[in-house]
Amino acid sequence: MTLAMIGQAFPTSTASGTDGCGESARYIEEQIDNIRQKDLQRPEFYFPVMKEVLPDLMEVKSETAEAGWDGYNACAIRSETFDRSVEFLESLPNTVATPTVSAEPDGHITLEWYRSPHRVLSVSVSPEGDLHYAALIGPNKAYGTEVFFGESPRVILDLIHRVSVA
C-alpha cells in the first residue's frame, strides 16, 4: 500500500484531531510496531557481527574437524571452542568492524581485525573461554589474556578500535 493510498483511505484533518487524522496516525503506528516486532525476532538484529561472521565460522568448523587439518600436527577444533567463539562474537557491540575467522594448530579459533601488517589484532578463543590476544599498532605492541565472562573485555574492544581507525 502506498502513502497516497493511505492518504485516501485516511484523509488528513485539522490540528484539532478529527477521526481521519487519528486513524491515519494509528494505522501508521501499527505498521511501525509490526515491523519492529519482526525485527526483534531476527537474531541478526541483536548480533550483527555474528551475522556477518557466522558463515565463515561454520566453514572453519567444518575444515578443522579432524586432526592434521593444517597439513602438519594441528589439533581438531572442539565444539566447546566453537561455542565460546559464538558467545564472544555475540557479545561484540554492533559498532565494531567485522573480523575474519581462522584457526590455529593448537585448536583455538582466531578472529582477526586487520588494516595492514602493521595494524592488526588477533584474538584466539580457547575451549575454556580464554581470549589470548596480540596486536601490532604501528610501533606499539600489545598482548595478553582475558577471561571471557559473557561481556567483551574492555581491553580487546579498545584494541579493535585502535586497529580499525584510519
Partner 1 sequence: MNGDLPAAEVTDDEWLVRFILFSKWIRRSDNTVKQEAFIPSPKNLELSVTRRNALSEEALWQVGQEVADTRPSKLYGRADLRAFHARNQSLQVRPDPQPRNQNHAVITGWPQDDKPGQKLIALELAKAAHYLPNPNPTPTLDNMN
- Alpha carbon of 158 to those of 30, 52, 107, 153: distances in Å? 40, 21, 26, 9
Nearer to partner 1, 70 or 83 (CB): 70
Closest CA to 163 of 145, 131, 139, 136: 136
Judged by CB under 8 A, the chain residues 11 through 40 that form the site for partner 1 are: none
Measure the CA–CA gap between 143 and 126, rounded to whole angstroms: 16
Instruction: Give the interface segment with partner 1, choosing from 17-25, 42-50, 132-140, 156-164 (CB under 8 A).
Output: 132-140
Judged by CB under 8 A, the chain residues 35 through 54 that form the site for partner 1 are: none
The residue whose grid cell reads 575474519 is: 100
Judged by CB under 8 A, the chain residues 82 through 121 that form the site for partner 1 are: 100-108, 110, 112, 114, 117-118, 120
Taking CB under 8 A as the criterion, the residue among 136, 157, 161, 164 binding partner 1 is 136
Q: Is 62 in the site for partner 1 (CB under 8 A)?
A: no
Would you say the C-alpha torsion 46, 84, 145, 69 has a positive or negative sign?
negative
Measure the CA–CA gap between 49 and 135, rounded to whole angstroms: 20
* Nearest distance from C-beta of residue 50 to partner 1, angstroms: 18
C-alpha cell at 27: 494505522
What is the binding site for partner 1 (CB under 8 A)? 56, 59-60, 63, 68-75, 100-108, 110, 112, 114, 117-118, 120, 122, 124, 132-136, 141, 143-145
